[in-house]
Amino acid sequence: MDPEITIRCTNLSKNFRVSEKQAGLAGSLSSFFKRTYRSVPAIQSFSFEAQKGEIVGLLGPNGAGKTTLMKMLTGIIVPSSGTAQVLGFSPSERKRAFRRQISLVMGQKSQLWWDIPALDSFHLLGKYYEVEHSQLHHRIQELADLLDVHGLLNTHIRKLSLGERMKMELMASLLHNPRVLFLDEPTIGLDLVAQRNIREFLKFYQEQHQTTILLTSHYMGDVQALAERIVLVLDGEKRFDDSIEHFESFFGGEKYVQLELEAAVDTEDPLWKRYDTVWVENGVRADLRIPTHRFHHALREIFERFPVQNFTTEKLPIERVLTSLLENPRLLEQRGESSLR
Amino acid sequence: MIFPSSLSRLLSYELKKWMATISLSITQRLAYKVNFFLLFLGPMLVFFLVQYNLWHSLFLFREGAPIGGYTRDEMIAYQGWVLVTALLTQGFHSRDLAQDIRLGRISSYLIYPFDFWQYHLGTFLGLQCIQLCIATTAVAALFFTGVFQELSATHLFLGVSVALCAGLLWYLIQYALGLFAFWIEQTWTLRVLFALIASFCSGAIFPLELLPEWAREIVLLSPFPYLTYVPVKTFLGAELDLPLPAPVALTFWSIVVWGCGKLLWNRGMRMYTAAGM
């Protein structure tokens, strides 16, 4: 395997066996005696490569298969078919040499021990990852400086706020200086300031250490701030794989306009439908997507017919691109192979 | 080939991992002070309120006549050693382990370069250190209250050794039971069933001499007597007529249960979905 390629998976698939039960007492009784199962494909023929030091954002709606992919790449679950290689190891073999070089942060699940202070957890993890005592001490100081958590190191994890705990989770995951970092919703539930702090920290850390990062997040701010490349997963399949710039300009021939109106207008007017309008405040504030070639014409028509108080125009935000693609996946088919690496 | 220096470095790292896990387990139990003191006081209170009173009343009812060859004082001493043995053998429960599997919490341990079974075994060893302290306190308390009328250092040493080996067997059984969480949502029914059978067949409720001869012979072929009856009899310094010497039987049953646990783990991991992550 090319040393520059850190992650490679070829035709990776995972099917889950799910039991089915009809509703009600009769359903319960029938399933008690005869349970029926069906196979649900979570990931289908997924091929993908990530280079050393690359930050890849995995996007997709809930249940698309992003976390399943993470689980397979970290060796937590075994693929149904296909191959995965991370740092030259097959993750499902869970060799110690492999586990020593990766890390996983799960925003929805604490990996630290609740009943003890963070510092105790770090010392334990230092032993597990065979980090020399002096080196571990140095790493703890360095990371605590960066995350500004010196005062919290001796506090029990259960007594920390969500944001503080996430910082500790990140610290724990980086103590052994992993070569690959898997981040599953690392800023979930955090306030805006905490989200920004964690993003800045990750960006700085990655630049310093050239860690390969695979990130899933429903907060587009995370993806925009960190990822260089985006992989869109829909129904277990890879549907887009290219740079974030290409993703942002997916609707390249369009402009994004935010309108503010003096008074509520008729939101059912056919004009709004033409420009994929999303009403932020019913009848008063709207976001529109206008084709560039119709831009002047459309704006003139809007200004003539509606009491516009204010308007701004900018490049389509990544969040809006994603929403539009999720609502209308056919747009991806129209782009075809050109959106896949 | 591993050179001696690399080997010693490797062993030193491994030892540090185990020691750190044992230390974590102790720290976790000391984190909740009230729970910790209840661990000390609970078993003693149960003994004096239930076991002592029950057998005392039974002997009063029988006007002091022996039961199954045991006099009142011998039976109370037997029950006292059952308490000490239980402290040394049955402290670990698979409840947390099963919950970890069911709620997908084992994912973290699958990523750390210290295996899931190693972590749990380390936790168990840490727990045993605490249980050893509690058992020592219990022996002292039962001696000073006259439940144990004499203490022999040899019997005490042999009894603790057998009880600690029985503790390992108990742990392995609990570990295997916990692994059933890969297949069934609630493992508590299995645990309750096992606890009921174990308390009846291990000699924890009454000495096995009280069973009919045929039943006693069958029970002695199972691992249950080695969990309570055999350690208690060793503490008492009694002669034992067993199909296999206690260390051999305990080793045999531990290997069998460990093998079952390994099989369950390998099969369970193939269908583990890390739900909730």
What is the secondary structure of A244-256 as a DSSP string?
HHHHHTTTTTEEE
Confidence of residue A109 (pLDDT cuts 50, 70, 90): confident
Residue range A37-63: average pLDDT? 90
Q: Are strands A36-51 and A55-59 parallel, antiparallel or unpaired?
A: unpaired
| Length, in residues, of chain A | 341
3-state SS assignment for residue B221: coil
B113 touches chain A (CB under 8 A): yes
What is the Rg, in whole angstroms, of the alpha carbon atoms belonging to chain B? 21
Q: Is the pLDDT of residue B258 over 90?
A: yes
* Domain regions of chain A by residue span: 5-247, 253-314
Nearest Cα residue to A303 out of A274, A261, A269:
A261
* Residue B159 in domain: yes
Q: What does the alpha-carbon distance between residue A339 and residue A328 come to, in Å, rounded to a whole number? A: 15
Q: Is the pLDDT of residue A162 over 80?
A: yes
Number of folded domains that form chain B: 1
What token pair was written down for A24? 């009600």
Residues A308-319 pLDDT 10s: 888 888 766 677
Q: Which of A124, A125, A176, A185 to mutate to test the interface with B (most CBs of B within 10 A)?
A: A124
* Residue B1 in domain: no
DSSP conformational letter for B47: I
DSSP conformational letter for A156: B
Cβ-Cβ contacts under 8 Å between A and B: the total is: 76
B270 touches chain A (CB under 8 A): yes
Q: Is the pLDDT of residue A9 over 90?
A: yes
Residues A257-280 pLDDT 10s: 888 989 888 888 888 888 888 888
Complex confidence, ipTM = 0.82
CB contact under 8 A, A109 and B16: no
Nearest CB to B13; choose among A71, A74, A130: A130
DSSP conformational letter for B51: I
Are the C-beta atoms of B201 and B221 separated by less than 8 Å? no
B32 touches chain A (CB under 8 A): yes
- For the ranges A101-115, B4-18, B57-71, the lowest mean pLDDT is seen at B4-18
Residues B184-197 pLDDT 10s: 878 888 888 998 99
* Residue B2 in domain: no
Confidence of residue A334 (pLDDT cuts 50, 70, 90): low
Residues of chain A neighbouring B33 (CB-CB closer than 8 A): none
Alpha helices, DSSP H only, in chain A?
Answer: 24-33, 66-74, 96-99, 118-128, 133-147, 162-174, 192-209, 220-226, 244-248, 270-274, 295-305, 318-327, 330-335
Residues A120-139 pLDDT 10s: 999 999 999 999 999 999 99
| Architecture of the domain made up of A5-247 | 3-Layer(aba) Sandwich (3.40)
Question: Chain B: nearest CA to A98, how far in angstroms?
Answer: 8
pLDDT over 70 for what percent of chain A?
94
What is the structure's pLDDT at A258?
87
* Residue B6 in domain: no
Residue range B152-161: average pLDDT? 94
Residue range A221-227: average pLDDT? 86
- Nearest-by-CA chain B residue for A103: B111
What is the structure's pLDDT at A13?
94
B108 touches chain A (CB under 8 A): yes
What is the structure's pLDDT at B19?
94
Q: Please give the C-alpha separations between residue B128 and each of A243, B93, B232, in angstroms, as whole numbers.
A: 55, 12, 18
CB contact under 8 A, A115 and B271: no
What is the structure's pLDDT at B2?
54
Residues B171-184 pLDDT 10s: 999 999 999 988 88
Residue range A26-31: average pLDDT? 74
Residues A168-222 pLDDT 10s: 998 999 999 999 999 998 888 777 887 888 888 889 889 888 999 999 988 888 8
Question: Chain B: nearest CA to A325, how far in angstroms?
Answer: 25
What is the structure's pLDDT at A81?
93
B33 touches chain A (CB under 8 A): no
Question: Chain A: nearest CA to B169, how far in angstroms?
Answer: 26
Q: What does the alpha-carbon distance between residue A112 and residue B109 come to, in Å, rounded to a whole number? A: 11
- For the ranges A50-54, A68-72, A163-167, A188-192, the lowest mean pLDDT is seen at A188-192
Residue range A217-235: average pLDDT? 87
* Residue B144 in domain: yes
* Residue B4 in domain: no
Domain A253-314 coded CATH 3.30.70: yes
Question: Chain B: nearest CA to A13, how far in angstroms?
Answer: 14
- For the ranges A150-154, A282-286, B261-265, the lowest mean pLDDT is seen at A282-286
Nearest CB to A99; choose among B105, B113, B274: B113
Q: Please give the C-alpha separations between residue A66 and each of A275, B73, B106, B120, in angstroms, as whole numbers.
A: 31, 67, 19, 30
Nearest CB to B27; choose among A102, A109, A120: A120
Per-range mean pLDDT, top range of A21-25, B33-37, B187-191: B187-191
| Length, in residues, of chain B | 277
**Identity (one letter) of the amino acid at A325?**
L
CA torsion sign, A164 to A166 to A170 to A172?
A: positive
Question: Chain B: nearest CA to A75, how far in angstroms?
Answer: 7
Are the C-beta atoms of A114 and A157 separated by less than 8 Å? yes
What is the structure's pLDDT at B250?
95
What token pair was written down for A73? 């790449």
Residues of chain A neighbouring B272 (CB-CB closer than 8 A): 76-77
B16 touches chain A (CB under 8 A): yes
- Nearest-by-CA chain A residue for B10: A130
Look up tokens 């302290």; give the residue.
B133
Backbone phi, psi, residue A206, to 5°: -65, -40
- For the ranges A23-27, A93-97, B57-61, the lowest mean pLDDT is seen at A23-27
Q: Please give the C-alpha separations between residue B139 and each of A111, B161, B163, in angstroms, as whole numbers.
A: 39, 15, 14
CB contact under 8 A, A109 and B113: no
- CB neighbour burial string for A302-328, b if at least 16 within 10 angstroms, e if fewer: beeebeeeeeeeeebebebbbebbeee
Structural domain containing residue B244: 11-271
DSSP conformational letter for B67: B
Q: CB-based burial of residue B181 (10 Å sphere; 0-12 exposed, 13-18 middle, 19+ buried)?
A: buried
* DSSP β-bridge partners for residue A38: A18
Q: Is the pLDDT of residue A33 over 80?
A: no
Please write down the long-range contacts of B29-36, taking CB distance under 8 Å and 24 or more positions apart: B29/B126, B29/B127, B29/B130, B31/A115, B31/A116, B31/A156, B32/A115
Note whether A5-247 and A253-314 share their fold: no
Q: Please give the C-alpha separations between residue B8 and each of A98, B2, B5, in angstroms, as whole numbers.
A: 22, 10, 5
* Residue B276 in domain: no
- Nearest-by-CA chain B residue for A131: B13
3-state SS assignment for residue B169: helix
Q: Is the pLDDT of residue B58 over 70?
A: yes
Q: Is the pLDDT of residue A333 over 60?
A: yes
Residues B198-236 pLDDT 10s: 989 999 989 999 999 999 999 999 999 999 999 999 999
Average pLDDT, chain A: 86
CB contact under 8 A, B114 and A128: yes
What token pair was written down for A112? 């630290």
Residues B227-239 pLDDT 10s: 999 999 999 998 8
